[in-house]
Each structure stands twice: as C-alpha cells, then as structure tokens.
Amino acid sequence: MTQEKPVVLIMAGGKGERFWPRSRVSTPKQLQKVYSKNTLLKETLNRAYTITSPDRVFIGTNATLKKAILAQERSFPENNFIIEPEGKNTAPIIALASLYFQEKFGDPVQVVLSADAWVNSEKEFAKTIQKALKETDEHLVLLGIKPNRPEVGYGYIAAGKPTKHGFEVKSFFEKPDVKTAIKYIKKPNFYWNPGIFLWKTSLILQEFAEHSPKILKPLKDRFPFKKMGDLGEAFKLLPSDPVDIAIMEKSSKIRMVESSFSWDDVGSWLSLERVLPGDNQGNRHIGKEILFYKSGNNVTQTKKEFTALLGVQDIVVVEEEDVLFIASKEGIGDIKNMVAEIRKNKGLQKYTE
C-alpha cells in the first residue's frame, strides 16, 4: 500500500431538516454547534486532520453553503471544495470528486466522511482509519460499528470471513423495523453502516464505470468543467442515488473494518439523548438555566435566561429567536413532513430558509 497521505472528502451538503428550527437551508445542522463548542463540521475537520494534512481535506457542498462555511472556517482553502449544483444524494458527488482527485493527485486513497457525526475519540478514529487503509489496495472499504441498541435509522452490514485487517462482506441490509433490528443486534457479525468509506480513486472510478455508468459517463465525458452551468447540465442527467446502492451493494470488492471508536449520527433532536449527558430523570438540555420539576426524558434547547418545565414527559422543546417548536417524541418523526408543509405557505417560508 502506498504511504501517500489520503485525501479526505467531507460531505456537507445536507439540509438537516430533522434538526429544524435550529437547522435552516442557509445554516443547516453541520454548521451548528450541537454537542460541543465546535460546529459539527469543525468536529469532522478536526478528525480529518488526524489522518492527513489540511491541504488534502476537501468539502463537498453547494455554492451557497461554501460561502457560509468559509465565513466560519476562515483558514480553510477556498479551492478545496467540490461543488454540486444540486443535491443528488452521495453517489454523484463522490464520482465528481473522484474525477477531480484523479486529475489533481493521480491515484490517491480517499477517505469519505459525513459532516454530521459524533465520534467519541479522535485517537481511536485515526487508529481505525490507519488499519482500514491497509485493506484499500484492491478493495473498497467501509467501517462497521458494533451496535449497542436496536436502531431502525441505520443500515446494517453482515460481515463474512475474516481478512488480514477486517472482514469480507456477506450482505447489506436497509433500515429495519424494530422487530428486525432486535434480531440483528443479537447476531455477532452484524454491524451498523456509518457511511465511512475508503478506496483508491482508480478503483472507485472503475466500479462506477461497471456498476453505475449513468452517473459516471455524463460527468467523465464533460470533465473538466470550465463553468458551473456545464456541471449543472451534466448533473441534471444523473440519477439521485446513494453510493451504497449505486456501488457498494453491487461490487464484489468490498471489505469491512470494525471501528474501535463509538459513533452516532447526529441526525435529529432525539439523537441528543445519545450524545449529551442527562440528569437523573433523563432530561437533556442545551442553553442557560433550566429546572425540570417532576419532568423526565425531555430534550430542550432554550434561549431564555431561565426555563422551567413542570410535570412534562417525553417532549422536545426548541427555542430560536424567531421560532418556538414543541413536539412529542412520539410525533417528532413527522418533522420533515411538517417542514415541507411550512415551506408551502409563502408567509411562513422564511422560517425554513
């Protein structure tokens, strides 16, 4: 395996609607401070810097968010962005980035990360990545996370025979229902799929050519793009596919490496129950002073100097300067549908922008 430092692609183009009203179109959750003094993107950048040099870290996003990111991350190189003209899931931007990396670096190993994860240890993250890099000579590699609960929001990986540094992959499973998830976590070879990938640029492009030519060909035929308009025309031709479906579930060259770090997707308000410390009644809070009186299992973010909850169970309260959002935990799964409804109302659209 080459000793050249990997190139890191951080995917940061999502809307983060399940974190509304904190997350808006112009300032989505990856640009927000959620579980630490740093934004989710900054936490991801810090992890990336443990495995490569800053000049080899790239962010995949849209032109609007590029400006917002540069306003926050003033030292980040302005040219280290892979700009997508429209969101088309993960496969198109990975294909586009791979063409760019091939032109700029030759055949680097890539590490692909999402910008909205929680990881408990940068040291263990770097250790796992170094181990996984050893499997990238002839394989597409993804990390596997040992599940600690029957999670229905993640895909699962069934590991096969051991390899020198990881495992073969028997199969992938889409997000299960609760009953199926309970079965999965009882199996010792089942892992969560966190969407952390490693591969040689030449190999991922080869696999795109074989398994998803409808994504690669319109990009490759027009590359390099001299104008954003040309890239926009090419993107219109592409299917909106995640890389898991476009490549990983079709390829015969997959390996999985078990992570030595704890991981969680900071995808919704309820995810804060897993990444923030709670009180004795299971309440989690972001903000100033709060009293939970005879109240339990609540998630709150408030702006007021003092907030008091009395006799309240299992709710989410989010206060922003212009919006107050209150939901039951049971009903919060409909938040994206609710945001879509708000967006339909011209008078209320501004609260989603």
Is residue 13 within 8 Å of residue 96, measured between CB atoms? no
Q: What is the pLDDT of residues 165-210, one digit of tens each?
A: 999 999 999 999 999 999 999 999 999 999 999 999 999 999 999 9
The residue ranges of every structural domain in the chain are 7-264, 269-351
pLDDT of residue 2: 47
Model pLDDT for residues 300-353, shown as the tens digit of each residue: 999 999 999 999 999 999 999 999 999 999 999 999 999 999 999 999 999 999
Give 2's contacts (C-beta < 8 A, 6+ positions apart). 109
Residues forming beta bridges with residue 316, ordered by sequence position: 299, 327
pLDDT computed for residue 262 by the predictor: 96
pLDDT at 9: 99
Closest CA to 284 of 266, 272, 302: 272
Instruction: Tell me the β-bridge partners of 200.
Output: 109
Average pLDDT for 148-158: 95
> 285: pLDDT confidence band, cut at 50, 70 and 90?
very high
- pLDDT exceeds 50 at position 61: yes
Percent of the chain with pLDDT over 70: 99
pLDDT exceeds cutoff 50 at 140: yes
Beta carbons within 8 Å of 65's beta carbon, 6+ residues apart = 12, 13, 28, 31
**pLDDT given at position 293:** 98
pLDDT in tens, 309-322: 999 999 999 999 99
Q: For 6-52, write each residue's pLDDT tens digit.
A: 999 999 998 899 999 999 999 999 999 999 999 999 999 999 999 99
Average pLDDT over all residues of the chain? 96
Q: Taking 50 as the threshold, does the pLDDT of residue 249 lie above it?
A: yes
Check: CB of residue 314 under 8 Å from CB of residue 305: no
Q: Which two tokens stand for residue 245?
A: 């479906």
What is d(CA 175, CA 193) in angstroms, rounded to the nearest whole number? 10
Q: Which CATH number among 3.90.550.10, 3.30.420.250, 3.20.20.150, 1.10.274.10 corresponds to the domain 7-264?
A: 3.90.550.10
Instruction: Please confirm whether the linkage preceding 224 is cis (ω < 30° from 0).
Output: yes
Token pair 């989710």 in the structure block, residue: 40
Token digits for 50?
């443990």
Contacts 24+ apart (CB under 8 A), 72-77: 72/31, 72/39, 72/41, 72/42, 73/41, 73/42, 73/45, 76/45
Residue from 100, 50, 107 nearest 80 by CA: 100
For residue 89, give the nearest of 299, 235, 257, 260 by alpha carbon.
235
pLDDT at 71 over 70: yes
Q: Where are the alpha helices (H) located in 161-276, listed in sequence order?
A: 178-185, 201-211, 213-222, 228-236, 243, 272-275
Residue 3 pLDDT class (50, 70, 90 cuts): low
d(CA 130, CA 124): 10
β-pair partners for 191: 157
